[in-house]
Amino acid sequence: QVQLVESGGGLVQPGGSLRLSCAASGSIFNINDMGWYRQAPGKERELVAVITSGGRTNYADSVKGRFTISRDNAKNTVFLQMNSLKPEDTSVYYCKAELLTYGGRWRDYWGQGTQVTVSS
């Protein structure tokens, strides 16, 4: 069984910073891409940033230059450093990992989500 647990969300003023973490645990054999997505009320879930096992990254245009994704492969953890936050960044943030379990197959796993609210 695999779990992805996010932490680090909260309330922050515009221009502030937050750092999200997501740790994967369980019977994990290997992890490929890890990423962050977000979903605001009434909107579809959208990609924020993704990082490959080799460290290549890709970002949504709306967060380029403000957000940085990184990962610690030894700890099966992905991070999202969010700077210069704007009210439009307010969403529930979800992490996703493409991983292979022992005796299983490659598939996507999702965390439970963490709320980020940017407001004065």
CA angle 43, 49, 52 (to 5 degrees): 140
pLDDT (mean) for 29-51: 97
- Specify the pLDDT at position 51: 98
Q: Taking all residues of the chain, what is their mean pLDDT, rounded to a whole number?
A: 96
For 84-120, what is each residue's pLDDT tens digit?
A: 999 999 999 999 999 999 888 899 999 999 999 999 9
What is residue 26's DSSP assignment?
Answer: E
CA 46/CA 91 separation, integer angstroms: 10
What is residue 60's DSSP assignment?
Answer: -
- Specify the pLDDT at position 104: 85
Whose CA is closest to 79, among 39, 9, 19? 19
- Specify the pLDDT at position 3: 96
% of residues, the chain, pLDDT over 90: 96
